Chain A
Amino acid sequence: MRPLVLTATTVISAIGRGAAETLAALRGRRGGLVPCDFQGIATGFIGRVPDVEAHALPPALAGFDCRNNRLADLALRTDGFAAAVAAARDRLGAARIAVVLGSSTSGILSTEEAYRARDPGTGALPAGFDYDRTHEMFSLAHFVRAALGLRGPAMTVSTACASSAQTFIDARHLIEAGVCDAAIVGGADSLCGMTLRGFASLELISPVPCAPCDAARAGISIGEAAGFALLERDGDGVALVGSGASSDGYHMSAPHPEAEGAIAAMRAALAGAGLSPADIGYVNLHGTGTRANDAMEDRAMLAVFGAGTPCSSTKGWTGHALGACGIVAAVICGLCLRHGLLPGGLNIATLDPGFGANVLLRNTDAPVRRVMSNAFGFGGTNCSLVFAAGA
């Protein structure tokens, strides 16, 4: 594939707002997980962004108000992202920039609150509840397009936890086909009862802060996050040089035990980049902290890379941001490439003795030129991206 440049990026998660805070948390090995205190749910730990409740959307966009779009708006106003998009809009034209964003649950928290406030007699939802601009899946892309003053095609991609990683592939198709010259990719997912209780029903919530790749790992900690990248054909910045997607064709919520889908996505990403496994200096794992995912991914790492390539999950810091985890990982990969930092997995007391991949336990300073990021989702959808340092 022809490389695309991430000419601007932004991220907000439980470990901070923007690249500098995120890098400092990674360097200082300061995770953002706290005991869950959300909506009366006290199971496990969460990665919560503290500023969301107090943030207000611009008055003209107040109809989009919900936790998910507030989180998105905070990210837009971080690291000069909105200004960079405004400059690109002036250069390329508002209709030539697409908005392709990922989310798994959009603004569902608003509907959860509306269901609690239904009229006891009629069952009607409260008058002020705006389903279309909060919970409906397109809400996020619609809001961001309006907030950035763009007029290109827009869509919300929702492939569960692969959503925001998948947006890089979907936007690449639009740019390479000439539909647009640039795209806003990434996405947002925010805390809600649906995912906190849903993952609990699958017995996948860790009672302690999630510890991906640890021998005693016991599940995920859900985090909330939003992040975006401006993807262009040319410019300065980290480049997307390869992407691969696949399906497991196996189970809705359990990964393929032989990792066949993950292996296919990783190999497709390498092939798309025209690279061999030895060209990759670090892999940011999907690494959720569940027994099944991490074991499957270790198997995939061994099959594709062997036992040498350094890898780790950074979800011990941020929690699992579900549909937003791909853009969080993409921004972290950018920090790895720029600053030569390979983060060692957080919260690991003992590495799973059954694992064969080179899982980093400590932060390592090593310059890397190319890194891979994995994101896998319910429905058995897999997505791998390869990023390279700017020229």
Chain B
Amino acid sequence: MMQAFICGVAVCGPGLDGWAEGRAILAGERAYEPRPIQPSVPSILAPNERRRTGAAVRLALSVAQQASEMAGIAPGAIPSLFATSNSDGAVMHAILQTLARDEPVSPTQFHNSVHNAASGYWSIATGSRQPTSCLSGHDATAAAALLKAVAAGQVEQSPILLCVYEVPMPEPLASRRPTVGSFGAALVLAPRAGAGALARLSLAYRAGAATMAQEAPRGAAWRELAAGNPAARLLRLLETLALGVADVFALRLLDGQLEITVDPC
């Protein structure tokens, strides 16, 4: 059983604009109005980099910066793990159209097409020299990333920033890879309890599939979002943190599952 303490959290998704608002809504203290949210432009991005980045990178950097600030950690000061299935579908679509017409690819679009674009822009924006990685686990991206981030933190005995984000693809890719809304969440995970820790996470990977019901959030209003956006599978965890309660649930990971136990600090 691996453990980590959550000492920073951020969310940006339909009707969930930052942790202050998101916490109150997920705890049932405020009404949920699922309107599209424009992520705040991350202040860490230089103006010329802001112009070069698309919605996916801005969403990722926005929640990464907010979670770092909540944890009292300078952005980029700790190792990071970014996770996404779609990455930047708009860039991908533009390049695929160009290739289909046998036209030259834009150099900026090409370097923005790498799956680790957000991790790259994060380290550039923060001047970070810290290790960073980026992964996909398709619909199980959040589970794979949480597992990997907590393992890395435990082995390296270092805090780690985890940023999971998913932005819908444009058509025609969207028809093959539908994604509900734009959703990003970031956590700062530490191997030891600090002053501001919200909760202790205990994780175990087990063979045997979990059910959708095991990972579904309590709130019916955001269940469709959690089921339709791989990053929003973190909503059960975010809801548990918002309520400040203990919880045991599972995230699906192919024919296995990530069992998650949450104990509030």
Contacts and interface: CB of A to CB of B under 8 A. Distances in A.
A247 B147 contact: no
B177 A131 contact: yes
A111 B93 CA distance: 10
A136 B100 contact: no
Contacts of A151: 207, 254-256
Contact of A179 (B111, B132, B151, B176): B151
Contact of B105 (A141, A169, A178, A197): A197
Contacts of B126: 249
Contacts of B85: 136-138
A156 interface: yes
Contact of B2 (A177, A248, A380): A177
Interface in A135-150: 136-139, 141-142, 145
Contacts of B155: 172-173, 176-177
Chain A contact-residue range equals 35 or more
A177 B152 CA distance: 8
Contacts of B87: 137
B41 interface: no
Interface in B116-156: 116-117, 119-121, 123-124, 126-138, 140-141, 144-145, 147-148, 150-152, 154-156
A177 B172 contact: no
Contact of B172 (A116, A125, A381): A125
B47 interface: no
A239 to B, nearest CB: 17
B133 to A, nearest CB: 6
B2 A378 contact: no
B135 A155 contact: yes
Contacts of B135: 137, 155-158, 170
Nearest to A109: B99
Interface stretch (A198-206, A211-219, A341-349): A198-206
B20 interface: no
B148 A132 contact: no
Contacts of A130: 176
Contacts of B261: none
Contacts of A158: 114-116, 134-136
A137 B133 CA distance: 14
Interface in A148-199: 151-160, 166, 169-170, 172-174, 176-180, 193-194, 197-199
Nearest to B97: A115
B147 A116 contact: no
Most buried by B among A115, A180, A253: A115
A112 B96 contact: yes
Contact of A249 (B110, B127, B205): B127
B253 interface: yes
B124 A250 contact: yes
Contacts of A390: none
A252 B96 contact: no
Given A125-B173, A137-B136, A379-B117, 11 more contacts: A131-B173, A132-B177, A136-B177, A137-B85, A138-B141, A158-B136, A159-B115, A174-B151, A194-B99, A198-B107, A245-B133
